Amino acid sequence: MSSLLTVILNWRTPEMTLRATQSALAAMQGIEGGIVVVDNDSGDGSEAMLRAAVKAQGWAPRVRVMQSGHNGGFGAGNNVGIRAGLPGGGRADFVYVLNSDAFPARTAITALLAHMQAHPAAGLAGSLIEDLDGTEHMAAFRFPSLLSEIEGPMRFGPVTRLLSDHSVWMETPERTGPVDWVIGASLMIRGELLDAIGGFDETFFLYFEETDLCRRARQAGSETHFVRESVVQHIGSVSTGMGEWRRVPDYWYASRRHYFRKHYGALGAATATALHMGAGGLHRLRCLVMRRAPGDPPRFLRDMARFELRQYRPSRLARRPKGHTA
């Protein structure tokens, strides 16, 4: 029987994390393995609350709580749990990453596991994601590329139709099967794939980390599958507060830059930014003529330009430590 390690990362949402843990426990019935809840250095009493609840519910040793010791972001926190392994310290055949604000249906985890067992080419698999009212979320995507940096920001019908195969956003697939990448809220990963390519890239604090993981899997010859039979309810943006952003935070721009530099090189990353800003500028010009709002967070393009130009400031070199020659 295959073993499964479920990793749930908590950051200041202990009540919701416990709800996700309870849902995962119910969905793991009949599956060998365990759950590790990683508190990502919340500093608000979350860890003590989680430990007390696990003890009171009698979930141990099936469920254990760990402390990351440092909030290095989504990928770093999940890597702590992945490295910890099963409750007895063994290596799991599969790792299942579940958001603290995501609640798998009773058959959601078994559906992912069964699919991956039946499809050896699938190194990763993701679920159908729904709101609490049953509305489907986008859960499967294409990889960001230079052409997607034209199509997405421009939001112009003829361009979208011309570059439709390069749009990151795609309709939720009607059938289970291979896609480029899936949302990390409910993501199963083959243990041997993690051994081959490593876990999440911890340079990403938040966003783009699952995109990068799926892309590295593709480069290693492994597929990512969307499994429609696996249904997970997801509230979304509870820890990040994305729904209430007044401005896009710098860590989003940093993750975007790192993704493009990693997969397209420094020149490719600069080209991607130039294309994004050019296409976004044309969109804003069209919105100005049509007297409608562009639909982006305030100062989105200006903040992107500021973030990208900041790396070339001479002051950054002046702050370099003495003796540093890299």
The total number of structural domains in the chain stands at: 2
Q: How far apart are CA 212 and CA 237, in angstroms?
A: 20
| Two tokens, residue 274 | 């130039």
Q: What is the mean pLDDT of each run of 10 residues along the chain (326 residues)?
A: 96 97 98 98 98 98 97 98 92 97 98 98 98 93 98 97 97 96 98 97 97 98 98 76 73 97 97 97 97 93 94 59 35
Which neighbouring-strand residues pair with 98? 8, 186
3-state SS, residue 291: coil
Task: Find the domain containing 265 and state its range.
Answer: 243-312
151 within a domain of the structure (yes/no) = no
Mark whether 194 and 284 lie in a shared domain: no
Residue at a domain's end among 183, 212, 239: 239
Task: Give the Cα-Cα-Cα angle 140, 143, 146 (nearest 5 degrees).
Answer: 145
The model's pTM: 0.93
Mark whether 181 and 307 lie in a shared domain: no
Mark whether 188 and 303 lie in a shared domain: no
The pLDDT value given to residue 263: 98
Mark whether 220 and 124 lie in a shared domain: yes
